[in-house]
Chain A
Amino acid sequence: MLKWSTVLDLLQGAGLTVAISSLAIMAGVPLGLLLALGRTGNARVVRRVCAVYSSFVRAAPVVTFTMLIFFGLPALGLSLEPLPAAVIALALNTAAFNSEIWRAAIVDFSRGQLEAAQAVGMTGRVAFRRIMFPQIWRASLPALVNEMTLLIKASPAIAIIGVVDLTRKARQIAATTYEPLPPFVAAAVVYGLALALLVAAARRLERHLRRRYGAL
């Protein structure tokens, strides 16, 4: 069975997984919005670049993409430590998926409201901040949370560049104790709990928003 020191070790790994995933999400959600605005904007070159970026990164496996960032960028003269490289790789990856979600919400947004905003004299920027954004973030929330769970499940990829996250920690414990099942099962339970917590929190938030502002 698991010893207390092992449990603490695993929790340390879990902490790192949570910290890195949170940082990647905090950077990746706004970055995705920027990409989506670029894709739905007027500048043709920007539209193209954002579309190609999103398509390329969404097709890239997270493991391969992480190695491209960590091992590949130094060849271009940009050296990164493993931890920042892990955060950057996950953030860039999730941003591409988030941009699709934001884009769908922007495309679905009713033209009428924007025209009305224009008619009362709002500039595009003000209309976005006060009319569009408060609605599209609510429309995107369930899909964004879904993408967060996918990101957390993809996060073990950062082990490939030597970051000791929960999965890698479980592997290390398995290798030193010669008892692989307990740490792996414990890690699986921790992932399950983390994801369940995230999903439950999102459901509560959605319910709260519905009660406060009505259905979308």
Chain B
Amino acid sequence: MTLRLDVIWNEWPQFARGLGNTVWLCAASMVLSLLLGILFVVPLMSRRRSVRGAARAVVDGGRCIPFLLLTYLVYYGLPSLGLSLDKWTAALITLIAYNTAYMAEILRAAWAHLPAGQTEAARAFGHTGVRLFRRIILPQVLIAAGPVVGNQLIQLIKDSAFLSIITVPELTYAANSVQSFYFVPFESFLVATLLYWALCGGVEYLVKRGEQLAAVVRRGHGR
């Protein structure tokens, strides 16, 4: 058995396009779902029980649905409510909606484990409401949640492979179309998996660098 890597090499533009689509879809939905997660974490930490309960139900419900099922719900289900979406919009909406539930939960956990002292001190200095959240709580929550957010980004990249099923031309779709055209399944999926590996490795590296940076910044402030 010989690996026909020359075929893959000749078809590299397809892989590159697929990888590019995977990257921008994940990056865009990561940023947006992080912002939405920040909005959503506020009701999750609300002192009012009914608000907290409702937010909890939405987040937990969202985290129970498999990604592919949510994709089907958005892509095939929403049109029956009169909302037809092309595959790109459906892909983005699914990625964002799915990921927002996880983001909100990650931020909530980071917030809940924050030492109370700083928030109390800020309250004593008269910070309240939005300003307290934006200037005191949020920066600490984001730094504390950094590594977990990185892990979730890796999860998102892997989930995005499901989008090939609704024919979004991302990396797995590209690999599948190359393999079905030239019949090189092993080589094609192996290369795709290696590219995912590299991508996730890159994210891991960036998270590690970010952590080091955060540690330096925190030490600087302590002085």
Is B68 engaged at the interface, CB distance under 8 Å to the other chain?
A: yes
Q: Which of A3-11, A26-34, A105-113, A186-194 contacts B (4 or more CB under 8 A)?
A: A186-194
Distance from B62 Cβ to chain A, minimum over Cβ atoms (Å): 10
Q: Which of A75, A153, A171 contacts B72 (CB 8 A)?
A: A171
Which of B38-46, B76-84, B116-124, B140-148 forms contacts with chain A?
B76-84
Contacting pair B164 A63 (CB below 8 A): yes
Which of A62, A76, A187 is the one whose CB lies under 8 Å from B69?
A: A187
Chain B neighbourhood of A180, CB < 8 A? 72-73, 76-77, 79-80
Residue in B69, B164, B185 whose CB lies within 8 Å of A184: B69
B64 and A63 contacting across the interface, CB-CB below 8 Å: no
- Point out the residue from B73, B79, B172, B197 that lies within 8 Å of A188, measured CB to CB: B73
A125–B67 alpha-carbon span in the complex (Å):
42
Q: Is there an interface contact between A75 and B66, defined as CB atoms closer than 8 Å?
A: no
Bound: A159/B171 CA distance, A: 18
Q: How far is the CB of A165 from chain B (nearest CB, A)?
A: 10
Task: Tell me whether B61 and A192 are in contact (CB under 8 A).
Answer: yes
Docked CA distance A31–B92 (Å):
36
Of the candidates B64, B175, B179, the one having the most CB atoms from chain A within 10 angstroms of its own CB is B64
- B210 interface residue, CB < 8 Å from A? no
Residue of A nearest to B184 (CB): A75
A157 interface residue, CB < 8 Å from B? yes
Per-position binary interface string of chain B over residues 168-211, scored 1 when its CB falls under 8 Å from any chain A CB and 0 otherwise = 00011001100100001110111011001101110000000000
* A35 interface residue per 8 A CB criterion: no
Contacts known (A56-B193, A61-B196); A72 close to B186, Cβ less than 8 A: yes
The answer to whether A201 has its CB under 8 Å from any CB of chain B is no
Query: When the two chains form their complex, are residues B172 and A184 in contact, meaning their CB atoms are under 8 A apart?
Result: no
Whether a CB of chain A sits under 8 angstroms from the CB of B158 is yes
- Check if B158 sits within 8 Å of A188, measured CB to CB: no
Contacts of A154 in B (CB 8 A): 66
CB atoms of B201 and A59 under 8 A apart: yes
A71 in complex: contacting residue of B65, B154, B185, CB < 8 Å: B185
Chain A's interface: helix, strand, loop or mixed, by majority? helix
Size bracket of the B interface: 35 or more
Assembly CA distance A188 to B161 (angstroms)? 20
A-B contact count (CB 8 A): 130
A188: nearest residue on chain B (CB-CB)? B65
Tell me, rounded to whole Å, the shortest Cβ–Cβ distance linking B19 to chain A: 12
Inter-chain CA distance A181–B81, complex, in Å, is 9
Given A64-B161, A64-B172, A73-B186, A157–B68 Cβ distance below 8 Å? yes
A-side contacts of B200, CB under 8 Å: 58-59
Residues of A near B185 (CB, < 8 A) are 67-68, 71-72, 74-75
A65 contacts partner chain B, Cβ-Cβ < 8 Å: yes
Interface residue? A156 (CB, 8 A): yes
In the complex, which of the residues B61, B79, B159 contacts A61, with contact meaning CB atoms closer than 8 Å? B159
Q: Do residues B69 and A188 form an inter-chain contact, with CB atoms below 8 A?
A: yes
B112 within 8 A of partner (CB): no
Interface residues of A in 139-190 (CB under 8 A from B): 152-157, 159-160, 167, 170-171, 174, 179-181, 184-185, 187-188
Is residue A77 contacting chain B, with contact meaning CB distance below 8 A?
A: yes
Between A56, A73, A154, the greatest number of chain B beta carbons within 10 A of the residue's beta carbon is seen for A154
Q: Please report the C-alpha to C-alpha distance between residue A152 and residue B68 in the assembled complex, in whole angstroms.
A: 12
B positions within 8 Å CB-CB of A: 1, 61, 64-69, 72-73, 76-77, 79-81, 154, 157-162, 164-165, 171-172, 175-176, 179, 184-186, 188-190, 192-193, 196-197, 199-201
The 7 A-B residue pairs with the shortest CB-CB distance in the complex, in nearest-first order:
A61-B161, A71-B185, A72-B186, A68-B189, A156-B68, A192-B64, A61-B158
Residues of A that sit less than 8 Å from B by CB: 55-56, 58-65, 67-68, 71-77, 152-157, 159-160, 167, 170-171, 174, 179-181, 184-185, 187-188, 191-192, 195-196
Extra pairs beyond A72-B190, A174-B77, A191-B66 (15, CB < 8 Å): A58-B200, A59-B193, A59-B201, A60-B197, A61-B158, A62-B158, A64-B196, A67-B176, A68-B189, A75-B185, A76-B186, A153-B64, A153-B67, A160-B165, A167-B69
